[in-house]
Structure 1
Amino acid sequence: MTIPIIFDTDPGIDDAAALSILLTNSAFDVRLVTTVAGNVSVDKTTLNALKLTHYFNRQDVKVARGAEKPLVKPFKDAAAIHGESGMPGYDFGALSTQTIADEAVVAMHQTIQASHEPITLVAVGAFTNIAMLIQRFPDDLQKIERLVIMGGSLSGGNLTSVAEFNVFTDPDAAKIVFESGLSITMLGLDVTEKAVLTTDSLATLAQINETGRMLSALFDHYADHTGTGKPMHDVNTLYYLLHPEKYQMRDIWIDVVTSGPAIGATVGDILQSTHDTTNTHVALDIDGPAFNAWFLLMVAQIDDANINAGKLEK
């Protein structure tokens, strides 16, 4: 049985890795891709989403442009990590896909209401679009089965000492999301920094097929890395949906700090000292080697005959 998905994203190189699997795996019924300002501006994230729907010949997948800035705080991108374009290193050629006329929040609403089954909402960028959906169309929450997010951390940040990038980019939106009553699964830095492509895997990726070559070209420009390889943060949302048994999970109440030096922190009430209930299913650990092997397998299953191959950028 396929999973009906709305995928909210800000491509971004690890977003591109996630979209490569999302758009080619028959387990996912992709109803809509929406974009948001995050890793780079929304104009660039939208263009990058179109590059990938074009590359994988998914003209059937709707792409809607979303929020160009956070709800309250000024916007600052992560071009230092993802490059000025967000996806440098590969020329995708002339595009065969384009955005739909509706803005992201309206497109989300229409997609949710038109669905005969509950939607799985996946968010791997700043949560601005999701917060706006909650505020403008609160009745839609009843038709969302779950919200799976890449964001937050219980163990420290990657943008500040306490804040993860997606939450830090729009903490006010994140607070709305965590307090919405949605069934939320949080895949934060506690696990995504263990979900890496190892140095050996990165060295062989370009030999697998044309998609491996494309991703390898992007990864060459990806400035995020750990001691063992490059983390595939956003891909965790899809790995979790297909293999939840590979994660150690715990239900925790999560609060979001929206001002002061700890802005963007996701504070987990692990001791249940201030809340007697929980609002988030939080990932605490992952089988990292299994993730690495699975990612390579997913890329290897992508048929070169089904793509619009481009070329490496000089």
Structure 2
Amino acid sequence: MTGPSNADATPVIIDCDTGVDDALALLFAVRHPGLDLRAVTCVAGNTDVDQVVRNTLTVLEQAGAPGIPVARGAERPLIEPVRTALHVHGRDGMGDLGLPAPARRPADVDAVALLRRTILASPRPVTLIPTAPLTNIALLLRTHPEVTRNIERIVFMGGAVATGNATAVAEFNVWHDPEAAAILLSAGVPTTMYGLDVFERVVVPAGDVRRLGESTEPGARLAGRLLSHRDPVTGEEDPGGGLGDAGAVCAVADPAGLTTHRLPVEVTLAPGPGRGQTVVDRRRRPGEAELHGEAREQPLVDVALDVDVERYVKLYLATVEGAGARA
């Protein structure tokens, strides 16, 4: 068994670098009845790829998920060296919660092979949800372009219209592997960019975080512990907990909670302070570059510009806790 029995559920694959918020995303995906999580692929990012695999298997085990295949993917970006975010996610990438080693084992194929096999075997087009650097997805699209015929949409957590977090203008996932992000955007697949502009806004109130953390159900309790993790870099004292990557999965389950605009997007690949920036063109009229024939046509992306925070918080809590959990 690899997912819910609901025949109307949307088949999805998550590609992740399981840190704190990727784990929150996995907990939601395996419990939402409208999502059929067919596979999970792992890539270096928040931590090294082997730790990502371990974290992913641990989360699925804690959540009581069925036997969803998990595969190891790229251990470094296409060009750049690995640059982890352990300073944010802890030494183990999971907030150093001291979780037990998983009894589950990864699949005996690599991430690209599992992605290809799962996508092509699906009777319905698959939605890909990358919550990590896009290295695995780029390798898939370049190696097996035939998969695009059975991909409904790619909803990726990455990029920013306004301010970055890895640099002043670049978000971590895109900055970690800009070339991979550029390949994804040029693949000709309908794409939604769930960037920092909405990512940072969806915060679970402190009371709900405490309730989750006190739950006797392992998956809900893990969600509470993860939401309680504090970013030592920012030193934030807000007792609430950000959903982060999980918001992108909420957007697949409930697209009406997200406001998007279809806009041209380009990834800056040149060295320097702008590398990894997602340049989103929000102009209402052509500029001088277009008028002088100097502009290049850019891929159109559904860019998330606003989010119904309360709606997604309620959706997340209801899904992870389950019916009657608060009774």
- Secondary structure of 2:31's counterpart equals coil
Following superposition of structure 1 onto structure 2, how do residues 36-51 of structure 1 map, counting pairs within 5 Å?
36-51=43-58
In structure 2, the CA distance between the partners of 1:228 and 1:215, relative to structure 1 (3 Å rule), is closer
**What is residue 80 of structure 1 aligned with on the other side?**
87
Query: Contact 1:253/1:275 (CA < 8 Å) preserved in 2?
Result: no
- Secondary structure of 2:142's counterpart equals helix
Take 1:230 and 1:285, find their aligned partners in 2: how far apart are those partners? 19
TM-score (norm 2): 0.87
In the TM superposition, what is the alpha-carbon distance from 1:27 to its structure 2 partner?
1.5
Q: What do the CA deviations read for 1:238-268 (whole angstroms, capped 9, x no partner)? A: 2111221111110011100112211110001
Q: What do the CA deviations read for 1:59-85 (whole angstroms, capped 9, x no partner)? A: 420000000000001211000110010
Between 1:235-244 and 1:28-37, the stretch displaced more is 235-244
- Secondary structure of 2:84's counterpart equals coil
- Secondary structure of 1:95's counterpart equals coil
- Secondary structure of 1:23's counterpart equals helix
**What is residue 265 of structure 1 aligned with on the other side?**
277
In structure 2, the CA distance between the partners of 1:61 and 1:6, relative to structure 1 (3 Å rule), is same
Query: Contact 1:196/1:228 (CA < 8 Å) preserved in 2?
Result: no
In the TM superposition, what is the alpha-carbon distance from 1:182 to its structure 2 partner?
1.2
**What is residue 280 of structure 1 aligned with on the other side?**
301
* Residue 184, structure 1, aligned to residue 191, structure 2: yes
**What is residue 263 of structure 2 aligned with on the other side?**
252
In structure 2, the CA distance between the partners of 1:82 and 1:277, relative to structure 1 (3 Å rule), is closer
* Residue 34, structure 1, aligned to residue 55, structure 2: no
In the TM superposition, what is the alpha-carbon distance from 1:57 to its structure 2 partner?
3.0
In structure 2, the CA distance between the partners of 1:157 and 1:94, relative to structure 1 (3 Å rule), is closer
Take 1:179 and 1:191, find their aligned partners in 2: how far apart are those partners? 23
Q: What do the CA deviations read for 1:273-295 (whole angstroms, capped 9, x no partner)? A: 44667521111001112222222
**What is residue 69 of structure 1 aligned with on the other side?**
76
Take 1:72 and 1:108, find their aligned partners in 2: how far apart are those partners? 22
**What is residue 214 of structure 2 aligned with on the other side?**
207
Take 1:303 and 1:169, find their aligned partners in 2: how far apart are those partners? 41
**What is residue 9 of structure 2 aligned with on the other side?**
2
Take 2:248 and 2:151, find their aligned partners in 1: how far apart are those partners? 16
In the TM superposition, what is the alpha-carbon distance from 1:173 to its structure 2 partner?
0.5
Over the matched positions of the two proteins, sequence identity in percent amounts to 34
Query: Contact 1:6/1:122 (CA < 8 Å) preserved in 2?
Result: yes
- Secondary structure of 1:154's counterpart equals coil
In structure 2, the CA distance between the partners of 1:132 and 1:303, relative to structure 1 (3 Å rule), is farther
Take 2:186 and 2:195, find their aligned partners in 1: how far apart are those partners? 17
**What is residue 298 of structure 1 aligned with on the other side?**
319
**What is residue 130 of structure 1 aligned with on the other side?**
137
Between 1:50-59 and 1:33-42, the stretch displaced more is 50-59
* Residue 12, structure 1, aligned to residue 25, structure 2: no
In the TM superposition, what is the alpha-carbon distance from 1:202 to its structure 2 partner?
2.4
User: Runs of 5+ in structure 1 lacking a partner?
Assistant: 305-314
**What is residue 169 of structure 2 aligned with on the other side?**
162
Between 1:39-48 and 1:26-35, the stretch displaced more is 26-35
User: Runs of 5+ in structure 2 lacking a partner?
Assistant: 1-7, 287-294
What is the number of equivalent residue pairs in this alignment? 304
- Secondary structure of 1:252's counterpart equals strand
In structure 2, the CA distance between the partners of 1:226 and 1:285, relative to structure 1 (3 Å rule), is farther
In the TM superposition, what is the alpha-carbon distance from 1:94 to its structure 2 partner?
4.7
Take 1:159 and 1:92, find their aligned partners in 2: how far apart are those partners? 28
**What is residue 157 of structure 2 aligned with on the other side?**
150
Counterpart residue type for residue 256 of structure 2? E
In structure 2, the CA distance between the partners of 1:277 and 1:157, relative to structure 1 (3 Å rule), is closer
Between 1:90-99 and 1:36-45, the stretch displaced more is 90-99
- Secondary structure of 2:52's counterpart equals helix
Take 2:268 and 2:87, find their aligned partners in 1: how far apart are those partners? 25
CA-atom RMSD in angstroms: 2.1
In the TM superposition, what is the alpha-carbon distance from 1:180 to its structure 2 partner?
1.3
Take 1:189 and 1:233, find their aligned partners in 2: how far apart are those partners? 9
Take 1:258 and 1:278, find their aligned partners in 2: how far apart are those partners? 15
**What is residue 219 of structure 1 aligned with on the other side?**
227
Take 2:95 and 2:199, find their aligned partners in 1: how far apart are those partners? 22
TM-score (norm 1): 0.90
In structure 2, the CA distance between the partners of 1:102 and 1:300, relative to structure 1 (3 Å rule), is same
Counterpart residue type for residue 309 of structure 2? G
Take 2:166 and 2:239, find their aligned partners in 1: how far apart are those partners? 20
